[in-house]
Structure 1
Amino acid sequence: MNLRRTALRFAFGAAAVTGALAATATTASAAVLTDIQTGSGKCPANWVCLWSENDFIRGNPGGGSDYGAVGSDGNVADLGNFFFESKLARWKGMQDRTSSVVNNTGSSICFYEHNGYGGLEFRIGPREKWASVPSWINDKISSFKYC
């Protein structure tokens, strides 16, 4: 009985990890995670993560909202390209929705108002965490890159 319960737990855990690591290529060497969970500690090492709400909260895409979180290990020219879809929810991506960010890389990251790294620029340093981005860029970030 215990072996059966352990096997079921393992199967459910593997399915959850597989769903959470649904990656989409952004460049030849970059990937995007579209299901980063709530909390600054959920951003993987050497990745940049963005949340739709202050304090690293991803919102509730299953509750009919369009909010979530995304992370990448490389430059992202258009945050609107990444979405999460399941039987329970469809989340439309992070285009103009970002309110908190984590830079878990050893480099500075520049966030931009427009796709293709244009418009207003907000720069953060290596390993910085912003629970609330400045109001002038809040819900306006459309792309980001190493800078």
Structure 2
Amino acid sequence: MVRKLAGKTARLGLYAAAVAGVVLATANSASASTLLGIGQGAGACPAQHVCLWSENGFVGATSGSKYGAIASDQNIGDMGKLKREGALWDGMQDTASSVVNNTGSGICFYEHNWYGGLQFRIGPWEKWPSVPSWINDRISSFTYC
């Protein structure tokens, strides 16, 4: 009887370890991404990402411009940190003029870092070739809302 119980306990322990390994592997395989310099046009926004361009009409990094475009599938609390060192492209702090929400969730854009100040909210799958003038060139952070 003790031997049977010990065998069942050992099998249960191996089963639990296997399940824990699958859960851990799944959690590690799904990672967030933020892409810099995604290209022109609303179609450049990847599935399940929020995209911002420095110019109206989903244009970024035009000739003579030091700004560009980004795509992210996570909240961004400080758009000023999204930049390429040593290149023309200098980040997206207070420069966004057009946005695409390629997700099934609402997105809230904020005037200040870490989700403060004025808020501009767009719905799932919305595309704005030009954001309203009161938030144009003022977006500093965004979050799923």
TM-score where L is the length of structure 1? 0.75
Measure the CA separation in 1 of the matches of 2:64 and 2:130.
23
What residue is the counterpart of 1:9 in the other structure?
Answer: none
Greater strand percent: which structure?
A: 1
What residue is the counterpart of 2:97 in the other structure?
Answer: 99
**After the TM superposition, which of the residue ranges 124-133 and 64-73 deviates more from structure 2?**
64-73
Task: Give the number of equivalent residue pairs.
Answer: 116
**2:76 maps to 1:76:** yes
What residue is the counterpart of 2:44 in the other structure?
Answer: 42
Measure the CA separation in 1 of the matches of 2:46 and 2:140.
21
Measure the CA separation in 1 of the matches of 2:64 and 2:129.
24
TM-score where L is the length of structure 2? 0.76
**2:52 maps to 1:54:** no
Measure the CA separation in 1 of the matches of 2:84 and 2:37.
7
What residue is the counterpart of 1:132 in the other structure?
Answer: 130
Q: Secondary structure of the residue that 2:57 maps to in structure 1?
A: helix
What residue is the counterpart of 2:65 in the other structure?
Answer: 65
The 8 Å contact of residues 56 and 98 in structure 2, kept in 1 or not, is answered as: yes
Measure the CA separation in 2 of the matches of 1:29 and 1:125.
24
The 8 Å contact of residues 29 and 74 in structure 1, kept in 2 or not, is answered as: no
Structure 1: 5+ residue stretches without partners: 1-27
The 8 Å contact of residues 61 and 89 in structure 2, kept in 1 or not, is answered as: no
Q: Secondary structure of the residue that 1:91 maps to in structure 2?
A: coil
The higher radius of gyration belongs to: 2
